[in-house]
Structure formats: C-alpha cells, structure tokens
Amino acid sequence: MRHVLHQLKKYRRDTFLCIGLTAMEVVMEILLPLITSLIIDQGLEASNLPAVYRYGILMVVMAFFSLVFGALAGKFAASASSGLAANLRAAIYNNIQTFSFSNIDKFSVPGLVTRMTTDVTNVQSAFMMIIRVAVRAPLNLIFSFAMCLIISARLSMMFLIAVVFLVIVLGAIMVATMRIFDRVFKKYDDLNASVQENVSAI
C-alpha cells in the first residue's frame, strides 16, 4: 500500500484538500439541524420573526457553503484519483520493461494487461471512495452521535445499537463479495487472452 500511495507524488495536495473540504462539508451539514432547532425555539415558539429571518438566512448561507465544499471536494478527489491511476500505470509499465526472461515466462500478457487496466481502474475508484466516503462517513457518525448525546443520551444508545448492527451486516457482505471479486478477476484474464488472440488472428 505504501508503494501505491508513493505514486501520488504531486497529487498529495489535491488529496489533502479533498479531505479538508469534505470535513468542512460535514460540519456544515451537521450544524443545519441545530440552526433549525434555534428557528423553532427562539423564533416560531417565541413569535420572533427577526430571529426566524436571521437564522433562515444563516441556514441558506451554510447550505450554500456545504454545496461549494462538496463540489470542490469532488473535483479534487477526481484529480487526485486520476493522477494516482496515471502514475500507477506508468510505474507498472516501466517495471515490466525491466522483467527478466523468467519473469516474462511467469506473468502472462493478459494478466499484465488486466493489472494495468482493470486493476488500476479499481484502485482509482477505491482511492476516490476512500478520500470522499471513508472520510465523510466516520465524521458524519462522530458528529451525529455527539449531537444525539446533546439532545438525548438515551436516544444515542439506540443509535449506537443500530451502528453496531450495520457494521456486522456490512462486514458479512464484504466477506461474501471478496470471494466473488477473486473469481471475476480470473475471468478478466481469460477475457483479455481471448481478445488478444482474436486481434492477433485478425
């Protein structure tokens, strides 16, 4: 994994910008329900229209910033992941050029094509998901749980039970899908071999 991340090179900046902007997006989204509660408590229940307008404008501004942060985070995530994929393909290709005859006999051409195309594309997609979803989801969980504790400690315990249940279910799904992925990757090698033979025959 260290060797893969080393290929980020100049795209490290985009990666950290994406993580930071995603965190800011989550903060804006989590604070929106709090502002809604202030509108209800200090505005509607107290018949205080200036407070409703003030907090309403604040909500619109926060929603706008959340949208901007999310869009910029997506832009930097795409830039970082595509840059990583390009550098990985170049590194793999350069490494293949140094193969000895024993290496060439060991690795098939279809297998190497799969590594440079499908596998690198999967790494690219996974990296984009990690710096977006894997940052956003834990922060959402932490801030949401903190807000639940502030509102009601009893309610937060039910929330915690639901999270544990979801983790168990997702873990079981991941174990099942990993076996399917292994079979699919072997089929990819066979597919590339068939395409190569057909192109050579043509």
Q: Which long-range contacts (CB under 8 A, 24 or more apart) does 144-151 make?
A: 144/30, 147/30, 147/33, 147/34
**Any idea what the CATH number is for the domain that residue 104 is in?**
1.20.1560.10
In the predicted model, is pLDDT for residue 68 greater than 90? yes
Range of the domain at 136: 2-201
CB 85 within 8 A of CB 128: no
* 82-105 mean pLDDT: 84
Q: Per-residue pLDDT tens for 112-134?
A: 777 788 788 888 888 898 888 88
How many distinct structural domains can be found in the chain? 1
Look at residue 1 and give its three-state secondary structure: coil
Range with lowest mean pLDDT among 22-26, 80-84, 134-138, 144-148: 144-148
Query: Is 90 exceeded by the pLDDT of residue 148?
Result: no
Q: In which band, very low, low, confident or very high, does the pLDDT at 62 lie, cut at 50, 70 and 90?
A: very high
Residue 114 half-sphere exposure toward CB, CA atoms < 13 A: 17
Angle at 30 between CA 143 and CA 139, to 5 degrees: 40
Mean pLDDT of the chain: 83
* Coil vs helix vs strand at 202: coil
Amino acid present at 158: M
Q: Give the range among 10-14, 16-20, 66-70, 190-194 with minimum mean pLDDT.
A: 190-194
Say whether pLDDT at 70 is over 80: yes
With contact defined as beta carbons under 8 Å apart, do 77 and 130 qualify?
no
Please name the residue ranges forming H helices in the chain: 2-6, 12-38, 49-96, 101-106, 109-114, 120-151, 153-201
pLDDT tens-digit readout, 179-191 = 887 777 677 767 7
- Decide if 8 contacts 20 (C-beta within 8 A): no
Which pLDDT does position 150 carry in this prediction? Answer: 78
